[in-house]
Structure 1
Amino acid sequence: MAAWKVAVDRDSCLGTGICVVYAPDTFAHDEEAKAVVVGPPEPLDTVRTAVEGCPTRALRWTDDATEPPVADHERR
C-alpha cells in the first residue's frame, strides 16, 4: 500500500479552520492564518473528514494513487 500525505493549496486556503477542528494533530494555522501540515497524520478517517470538510478544497491527497486512500473498514 502506498504511503499517503496531505498537501495544502495555500492559494485556495481561506483559513476557515475546519481542518484544525477535525484533525488538530495534523493541521494548524501559520502566521498568515493558512493551514499547514504539522505532524504525523492522524488516523485515516480523521484526516479524510478534514480533507472532505474543507470548504475551499484546499486540501488534497498526495501519493502515487489516483484515488484517496481507503480505510481498512472500507476495503472489500
Structure 2
Amino acid sequence: MSWTIEVDADTCIGSGMCAGVAPDHFELVDGYGCARKAAVEPADQVIDAAESCPVEAILVKDADTGDVVAPEE
C-alpha cells in the first residue's frame, strides 16, 4: 500500500506546520509547503501534517483506491 500527497498551492499559506511535523515528507519551497515525494509509504507523520495544516491544504489519499486518508472530514 502507498499514499499520495497533494498540497494545494492556492490554499497553502506557508505556515510551515507540515515541514515542522513531518520534515522527512514536507519542505518549504519559496515560502509554501511542498511534498518531498508525491507517493509515500503510510506514516503517522504524514497524517499528523495533514491534520495540523491550518488551512487543510494537504490531501493524503490511498494510491490504490483514491480514498482520502487525511484530513478527516
**What TM-score bracket applies, with the shorter chain setting the length?**
0.7 to 0.9
Provide the residue aligned with 1:36 in structure 2. 34
Gaps of 5+ in 1: 70-76
Matched, 1:68 2:69: yes
Q: TM-score, normalised by structure 1?
A: 0.74
CA RMSD of aligned residues (A): 2.1
Structure whose alpha-carbon radius of gyration is higher = 1
The structure whose residues are more often strand, as a share, is: 2
Q: TM-score, normalised by structure 2?
A: 0.77
How many residues are paired up?
67
Percent sequence identity over aligned pairs: 33
C-alpha spacing 1:35/1:26, structure 2 compared with 1 (3 Å): same
Question: C-alpha displacement at 1:41, in angstroms?
Answer: 3.9
